[in-house]
Amino acid sequence: MARVALEDWQEQIRDPKIECMSRDEMTALQSERLVRQVKNVYENVAFYRKKMDDMGVEPGDIKGIEDIGKLPFTTKEDLRANYPFGLLAVPQEKIVRVQGTSGTTGKLTLASYTEKDVDVWGECVARGLTMAGLNAADRIHICYGYGLFTGGLGLDFGARKLGAMAIPMSAGNTKRQLMCMEDFGATAFACTPSYALYLGEAAKEAGVVDRLQLKVGINGAEPWTDEMRRKIEELLNVNSFDIYGLCEITGPGVALDCIHHKGMHVQEDYFYPEVLNPTDHTPCKDGETGELVFTTLVKEGMPLLRYRTKDLTSIDHSKCECGRTLPRIHKFTGRTDDMKVIRGVNVFPTQVETALLSMGGGVAPHYMMIVDRENNLDVLTVEVEVDEKYFSDEIRKLDGLRNRVAATLKQALGVAVNVKLVEPKTIQRSEGKAKRVIDNRDM
């Protein structure tokens, strides 16, 4: 099946009243909701009451969204310190669902939802699916994991709101995934970009790509590049859309890009975005890269003020070609906590991915960064799979390819890299979030 061309795309807007609202109207709506939410958390969450008291801030000091900078930040460490239910703003009996992510301490980062919170979550995902051109006639094959992880259930809730058929496959068993995609007539699929790439390779190897009815990929939960998007689209003949979310805010559906792929539209009537300088926390101008911070404007169960995501991006408040006025956040350059400092240079995995995909052949887009310290110096080794059609036992040819990869990475990263070429399919594939970095300096 050929990928749907842009000029043939029947784009829809699920809620024009909100998604195309003027900036003044949106600011008024956000201000009204923020004032109400601040009063709510001050009265019902001891953690925020103490934080605000310590800062000398009272609910009455917050007159509108322009006063958001007066409020305290919230971090993942705050969530862990109040695990499991210390940040609830409602009685526990009103909580109908919990979702969580694994933490470095062994304890989960837990988020709690009321019935209304779940309803809002589903609505946000449905808006995003509509941005991708999907409707009630579609069949959405979901291979995000189900359970405490928000990916699978978030897409499931969104499909239900949309009226589409959800195919709840969860992760794993790629051969069975492809069989069910074909047999059930799936028109869209949802998973991480790294697993989408793996699915595409497997479908191509099995010779089933032309038998699939897929037109859309919903791919998120990890940083990825436009180069990887194009690779996924090429393998599976789909339009691939970026989806963003985090358990602490609501799960997938916080933002998703439209057919123009010029940033992910933030559902800002529910989640107020700030992009701040990571050093001094001052607001960044549109187009400037900073840390993404969210305030949940209507969440009931576990509302959060100014939650620091650690994701690095920029924002654009201009009207999109699709007609939406919702601001757009751009592809993440990384996270403040996955950035590695190598001999004084900031290095992100996405830079490695972009460089490898720009080479135009010779290597596959599968890699592993390994950071060591030798004789008090940082050493970065990048393991890279050789593309199967280029694989050769001739040492001279492999040495030439290794030198070309090393030069490309040095130019992209600004630091010398040891390159280790490995045989095709030897770097472990991930059915969830891909592990790209091993930092032996932390061990």
- Residue 443 pLDDT exceeds 60: no
- Residue 416 pLDDT exceeds 60: yes
The Cα 102–Cα 430 span in angstroms is: 17
- Residue 193 pLDDT exceeds 80: yes
Average pLDDT of the segment spanning 279-303? 96
Domains and CATH numbers, the chain: 6-22+112-334 (3.40.50.12780), 340-442 (3.30.300.30)
What pLDDT is attached to residue 9?
59
Summarize pLDDT for 247-283 with one digit per residue, the tens.
Answer: 999 999 999 999 999 999 999 999 999 999 988 999 9
Mean pLDDT across the chain: 90
The residue type found at 232 is: I
Q: Which residues contact 316 (CB under 8 A, 6 or more apart)?
A: 262, 263, 286, 287, 327, 328, 329, 330
User: pLDDT tier at 430 (50, 70, 90 boundaries)?
Assistant: low
Does residue 432 or residue 401 have the better pLDDT?
401
- Residue 1 pLDDT exceeds 70: no
Average pLDDT of the segment spanning 302-324? 95
Peptide bond into 72 cis (omega under 30): no
What pLDDT is attached to residue 142?
98
Average pLDDT of the segment spanning 285-307? 97
Cβ 359 vs Cβ 383: under 8 Å: no
Average pLDDT of the segment spanning 383-407? 80
- Residue 392 pLDDT exceeds 70: no
- Residue 299 pLDDT exceeds 80: yes
User: pLDDT tier at 238 (50, 70, 90 boundaries)?
Assistant: very high
Percent of the chain having pLDDT more than 90?
A: 67
Poorest-pLDDT segment among 73-82, 387-396, 405-414, 430-439: 387-396
- Residue 442 pLDDT exceeds 80: no
Cβ 39 vs Cβ 300: under 8 Å: no
Average pLDDT of the segment spanning 128-140? 96
What pLDDT is attached to residue 326?
98
Length of the chain as a residue count: 443
Average pLDDT of the segment spanning 82-89? 96
- Residue 65 pLDDT exceeds 90: yes
User: pLDDT tier at 355 (50, 70, 90 boundaries)?
Assistant: confident
Summarize pLDDT for 90-124 with one digit per residue, the tens.
Answer: 999 999 999 998 554 457 789 999 999 999 999 99
**Partners of 368 in the β-ladder:** 383
- Residue 429 pLDDT exceeds 80: no
Average pLDDT of the segment spanning 362-369? 86
- Residue 139 pLDDT exceeds 70: yes
Does residue 33 or residue 424 have the better pLDDT?
33
The residue type found at 156 is: D
Residue 154's SS3 state is helix
What pLDDT is attached to residue 169?
95
The pair of three-digit structure tokens given for residue 291, joined into one six-digit string = 């840390």
Cβ 301 vs Cβ 325: under 8 Å: no
The Cα 264–Cα 257 span in angstroms is: 4
Poorest-pLDDT segment among 93-97, 145-149, 209-213: 145-149
- Residue 4 pLDDT exceeds 60: no
User: pLDDT tier at 2 (50, 70, 90 boundaries)?
Assistant: very low
Summarize pLDDT for 329-347 with one digit per residue, the tens.
Answer: 998 876 766 667 787 676 8
The dihedral built from the CA positions of residue 301, 306, 312 and 317, taken in this order, carries a sign that is positive
| Closest C-alpha among 203, 204, 267, 226 to residue 19 | 267
- Residue 376 pLDDT exceeds 90: no
